Structure 1
Amino acid sequence: MEAVKEKKRVIREKISITLSAFSDSELADKTKAVENRLFDFANFFESKIVLLYINNVNEVNTEQIIKKSLKLNKIVILPAIGTKNHEIKLLKIDNVETDLKIGSRGILEPDAEKCKLVPVECIDIAIVPGIALDEKGSRIGFGDGYYDRLIPKLPLTARKVGIAFEDQIIKQVPTESHDRHVDIIITEKRIIYKI
């Protein structure tokens, strides 16, 4: 188990170095290409209730995805991460400017006092963050296991979609028994269906 954790740490470090080498314009172009591919993806286009996330470092920037989803009248759900028991609350946002605050991890998340709690079984599609993924749908996050606990609770009909840059796709993610997979990965170059 410790060997797997160390392998994941090394992968996170390598991805961080790779992504930090991108120029601002390269990063913007890659991000826009991921966004375009996501919005052209039929499962996303047809969905009504979308679970998104606000990116942390080494994750695809989701700001424009969230804003465009709101403009398309999708019901946008974002996670609020609790410090107790590593819980995730799923909250509906209506406005990026007024419904977010800095959360326990130091990034923006929905303000529980302003946003409505949404049951997990309402989600049509879940966009799942990842620092590294492989073509089988295995993923590495930040190591706190929030999404490993959330993914099994999502409806069976909800697509679990990882978005990442092609440089974040690796040959094989080292996994542990508690790790959960995504069904589909969207990069700036392709859509990968779990095989």
Structure 2
Amino acid sequence: MSETVVEEAAAARKQTLRDELTARRKAMTPDLIDTRGLKVQSRFLATQYYHKARTVALYAPIRGEVPTRDILIAALQDEKIVCYPLSHVHGRILSFRAIKSEAELEPGRLGVREPTNSSDLIAVDQIDLFVVPGLGFTRDGKRLGRGGGYYDATLRAASARSRRVGLAFSDQLVEILPTTGDDVDMDLVVTESETCRGLFREPEFLDT
């Protein structure tokens, strides 16, 4: 079987899973998202990845993604540099700006909250820890996104010392995800009920 046929089959399986996982997410009520989201964030904040990171890239949740507000508040109190992606993308790699308060997040071009233009740009290779959303994850760190490929491209462009943690609800965990060479695995996947070891590389963020 040719590589092209394999990739096409993987893409078809991914789309089927996206439809299933999107339906699961839509079935969650706002109250349930908030309640479970608090537990996910609390579990994430207890990880060594969070504690050792100096610069953290968060996301502003949309369409039932795990909330990140508690992480933002904690990271600012811990005097970490916190940045968010911008909706204007040059190529496939996301751009990030730092914020010093939640008030600096405003609805952007796609309706997703993002930093204002007055915020400082943060180079991708300066980010220690990427907190990554997704439609689905496996316990060994594989991730299914919405299909744009922006996070995968960005994570490949990041520093080799950077790490990535996927946030998910337990309903988003699946046993198997079809992958291609473009997909990037997570170091951890954190849900409201468990912390799953993905790549589980040591959180050593200092340059060597």
Per the normalisation by structure 1, the TM-score is: 0.90
Instruction: Please say if 1:43 is aligned against 2:35.
Output: no
**Aligned equivalents of 1:61, 1:6: Cα separation in 2:** 29
The partner residue of 1:64 within 56, 62, 70 is 70
Q: Within 5 Å, give how 1:154-193 maps onto structure 2.
A: 154-193=158-197
What is aligned with 1:121? 125
The partner residue of 2:97 within 77, 91, 113 is 91
Paired residues, what number? 193
**Counterpart secondary structure, 2:176:** coil
Aligned residues of 2:60 and 2:114 also touching (Cα < 8 A) = yes
| Residues 106-156 of structure 1: per-residue CA shift (max 9 Å, x gap) | 211122x21111122222211111110112211111111111111112222
Structure-2 change in CA distance of 1:131 and 1:23 (3 Å): same
The partner residue of 1:141 within 145, 148, 154 is 145
Aligned residues of 2:57 and 2:127 also touching (Cα < 8 A) = yes
What is aligned with 2:202? none
Q: Which runs of 5+ in 1 are unaligned?
A: none
Aligned residues of 1:15 and 1:132 also touching (Cα < 8 A) = yes
**Counterpart secondary structure, 2:102:** coil
Shift in Å at residue 84 of structure 1? 4.2
What is aligned with 1:12? 18
| Amino acid in structure 2 at the alignment position of 1:76 | V
Structure-2 change in CA distance of 1:12 and 1:170 (3 Å): same
Aligned residues of 1:137 and 1:184 also touching (Cα < 8 A) = yes
Calculate percent identity across the aligned residue pairs.
Answer: 27
**Counterpart secondary structure, 1:181:** coil
Shift in Å at residue 95 of structure 1? 1.8
**Aligned equivalents of 2:195, 2:172: Cα separation in 1:** 14
**Aligned equivalents of 2:32, 2:107: Cα separation in 1:** 28
Aligned residues of 1:83 and 1:104 also touching (Cα < 8 A) = no
Per the normalisation by structure 2, the TM-score is: 0.85
Aligned residues of 1:58 and 1:131 also touching (Cα < 8 A) = no
Q: Which runs of 5+ in 2 are unaligned?
A: 1-6, 200-208
Moved more, 180-189 or 24-33: 24-33
**Counterpart secondary structure, 1:105:** coil
| Amino acid in structure 1 at the alignment position of 2:177 | V
**Aligned equivalents of 2:90, 2:58: Cα separation in 1:** 22
Aligned residues of 2:93 and 2:151 also touching (Cα < 8 A) = no
Structure-2 change in CA distance of 1:84 and 1:126 (3 Å): closer
The partner residue of 2:108 within 92, 96, 103 is 103
CA RMSD, Structure 1 to Structure 2 (Å): 1.8
